[in-house]
Amino acid sequence: MEDVVAFWRSAGPSKWFAKDAAFDAEFKGRFMAAHMAAARRELDAWLSHPTGCLALMILLDQFPRNAFRGTAHMFATDSLALSFARQAHARSYQTRIEQDMQVFLVLPFEHSENMDDQTLAVDLCSTLDARTLEFARLHQDIIKRFGRFPHRNAVLGRDTTPEEQRFLEGGDSVGRFGGLDFARSPLSGVLYVFTSTTDLRVWSFQDDRSVGSLVRRLPCPD
């Protein structure tokens, strides 16, 4: 378990939330066997320790999103990760690991298409940094509106509704800034600037007339 956590810690945010083929290949090469073992429930004993549970979250929730991008396998172990995340929450593991890594005990709730899980994710992220909290709210906003993540429809073989298609194409835009469409979150009021169906930039606006400042660039929710 320590090897998994040490690898992820050393990678840092610049790798965690970016698309990097070389990093994906390294991650997959080093931990494919561990991911499969966790998926087969052979590592459940790790749940008895906060660090072990964190390692399971990395293997079951993060690893597939790097190793199997663009395929349904990205989400194959989400339900197991979510089950383990609930156990971690019940045991207050989030407060027992280093702050920079706490978010990975929360992400299975963010990745859930269940509104109760989204509400819990926002609540748990309220103790973390403001950017992490805003990203949790973005996930919550999408589930509140659609009941699922439209960006997953293609790889999961789900039909996309006309409203979801407009959303994916940026048709919800409420204006233009620098030649880009932007859409206001229905709950938080933040404006999300869509650069494609796979990336967005988050801008902070004081009101509808103000000029926005770039907060961060993010992948669309997995």
Provide the pLDDT for residue 165: 87
Beta strands in the chain (DSSP E): 175-177, 180-184, 191-194, 199-204, 213-219
Domain regions of the chain by residue span: 1-156, 173-217
Rounded distance between C-alpha atoms, residue 36 and residue 115, angstroms: 29
- The answer to whether 60 and 84 have CB atoms below 8 angstroms apart is yes
Whether residue 182 has pLDDT greater than 70: no
Q: Kindly tell me the burial class for residue 218, based on how many C-beta atoms sit within 10 Å of its own C-beta (0-12, 13-18, 19 or more).
A: middle
Q: Which residues contact 196 (CB under 8 A, 6 or more apart)?
A: none
Please tell me the least confidently modeled range out of 72-76, 158-162, 218-222. Answer: 218-222
Provide the pLDDT for residue 222: 61
CA torsion 97-58-113-214 (nearest 10°) is: 80
3-class state of residue 191 by DSSP: strand
Domain 1-156 CATH (choose: 3.40.50.620, 1.25.40.10, 3.90.76.10, 3.40.640.10): 1.25.40.10
pLDDT tens, residue by residue, 15-45: 888 888 999 999 999 999 999 999 999 999 9
Rounded distance between C-alpha atoms, residue 164 and residue 168, angstroms: 6
| CA distances, 70 to each of 66, 105, 113, 132, 198 (Å) | 10, 23, 18, 24, 11
pLDDT top residue among 64 and 220: 64
Rounded distance between C-alpha atoms, residue 11 and residue 24, angstroms: 11
Whether residue 101 has pLDDT greater than 80: yes
HSE value, Cβ hemisphere, 13 Å, CA-based, for 46:
26
Record the pTM: 0.78
Query: For the chain, what is the mean pLDDT?
Result: 82
pLDDT tens, residue by residue, 65-84: 999 998 999 999 999 999 99
Tokens of 147: 């009941």
Tokens of 119: 């509400």
